[in-house]
Structure 1
């Protein structure tokens, strides 16, 4: 299989490239050159936002079986690229988001749920949800619905994460001592290991699947307690998980999801972020590795880095400040900073 990845050097795109290389696929990555591409790929450089930014793609003397696109900004960049590639590629896989569903997304929502009004396919950047839906529309406009795969991913974690959610928990647990542990422990989580996402995208592309698919783990695959326990085990830290209920968290002025990454208390937002129906993707071969494996491999990746993990500048800060942690655990002695 001949694969073109639009991106291919960070998080999801990198995972797709590594998985495809392991299958013996011929992989080309088209990117701006800001990050090193995986060893073994062919490289084309260009900037999709620049007037002549697709020149390298236009002049490439090859066609592709599959295109995978992870673009998250203006739909117009998806449309321009997809229109250029439509005569030269068989299928277009667009990594979208469950954010395309109209808010609030009800628990158990499948791919037929109501959607946000997407930005026009030729529009410049608006907001994340409308842009992702606009990207879906752009892919289908250029390739047609029967050649477009819309991968509506939820929370993505694992090695190469450039958002910082699981890395924050691992680094905080590694420092040891009392650690805020929002609960309840048995709170189910829905997420997708980036490598499982990549493998599913390649399987689905090879099988010729089209249309939208929710891509997160099945409900009950892991719990908040299991994730935090795994962080303690793999770091080997002398850490004490201090259980916190949602009332304590709210009283301290701490925000779920951002200040305490991954965690959301039960309610409307929890249903939207951790309550997706993924039966369609499971029927199409989705397999999710144990949470302990995801946590261990992410910790190993962090240990292999020379410096801090990469973070996307467009993402908001994640994790507790020292002041917020002190508010959550007021009985813990604080030394000089």
Structure 2
């Protein structure tokens, strides 16, 4: 298979490239040159947001394109139009954020979609940008040649958003750790490498249309995730499971200040950790154990000296130590902070 990855040097794109190379595919990456391309690929350089920035893609043909773009939809539009006669399929890594907020627990790919999206738009907000990217791919390649990978939370090595790296760094520091409860709170996420494997299987098999892509219910909980972090880092961290009410009363923001976690019973939890993924599972989705994702991410993080890369367009994650200490003290006293 001849594969073109638009991006391909960070997180999900890099996982796609490494998976394709492991299969012996002929891989080309198109990127801005800010990061080194993985070994064994052909690298083309350009800025898809600039006039003439796609010139390096004016020649060549590929069996499939994988695109992870998450800003102005017009960048997907321009690339897809340029490639539609020279590529067999277009796989766009989208997001479950494209559903009209907030989708109820158990939502499928048929749930209502966010309004106001356009393939011609400049950057607006994440949900409409991702939906606009979907529309751009569909317009150029048609429904029968477009695969829409609607990912949820993505974790794993090369993460440049800061969620799992923050928990690993925090548990490595040791001491009492504010662990947001309940311990058995179900999580849905996908390891970037499992996303990559499923996507490449999909383009090889000729899949098309939208798929919610994250782990099935029961695959992981806050307990299994944080206990894996504490075990692999070996810092002697003591997880102090704390009621959601205490955490929220302290003004701590779910999802960002305590990454991955959102309170049970909330619209946010249903939307982020309540998708129906049966269509993707039926199409071959397999998710490695949470312990493997955590351990491999820790190995990668240690190889970088413990400092993970951070996308400049994503907010920093984590709660301040003094805030954590305040909530832990309140929990010990059995009262709201």
TM-score by length of 1: 0.96
Distance 2:116 2:98 in 1: 8
Q: Which of 173, 192, 195 is equivalent to 1:194?
A: 192
Q: Which of 68, 80, 83 is equivalent to 2:81?
A: 83
Q: Which residue in the other structure is 1:7 paired with?
A: 7
1:112-140 Cα shifts (integer Å, max 9, x gaps) = 00000152211111111001000000000
5+ residue gaps, structure 1: 333-337
8 Å contact kept, 1:92–1:147: yes
1:86-125 alignment to 2 at 5 Å? 86-125=84-123
SS at match of 2:311: coil
Report the Cα offset of residue 307 of structure 1.
6.1
Q: Which runs of 4+ in 1 moved over 6 A?
A: none
Report the Cα offset of residue 238 of structure 1.
1.1
1:190-245 Cα shifts (integer Å, max 9, x gaps) = 00000000000000010000000000000110110011110111111111111101
Distance 1:329 1:121 in 2: 47
1:287-306 alignment to 2 at 5 Å? 287-306=286-305
TM-score by length of 2: 0.96
Report the Cα offset of residue 326 of structure 1.
2.0
1:251-270 alignment to 2 at 5 Å? 251-266=249-264, 267-270=266-269
Distance 2:235 2:33 in 1: 38
8 Å contact kept, 1:118–1:137: no
CA RMSD of aligned residues (A): 1.1
8 Å contact kept, 2:169–2:306: no
Distance 2:240 2:321 in 1: 16
1:7-38 Cα shifts (integer Å, max 9, x gaps) = 00000000000000000000000000000110
Q: Which residue in the other structure is 1:326 paired with?
A: 325
Q: How many positions carry a matched residue from both structures?
A: 330
Q: Which residue in the other structure is 2:248 paired with?
A: 250
SS at match of 2:63: strand
Distance 1:331 1:188 in 2: 25
Distance 1:242 1:230 in 2: 15
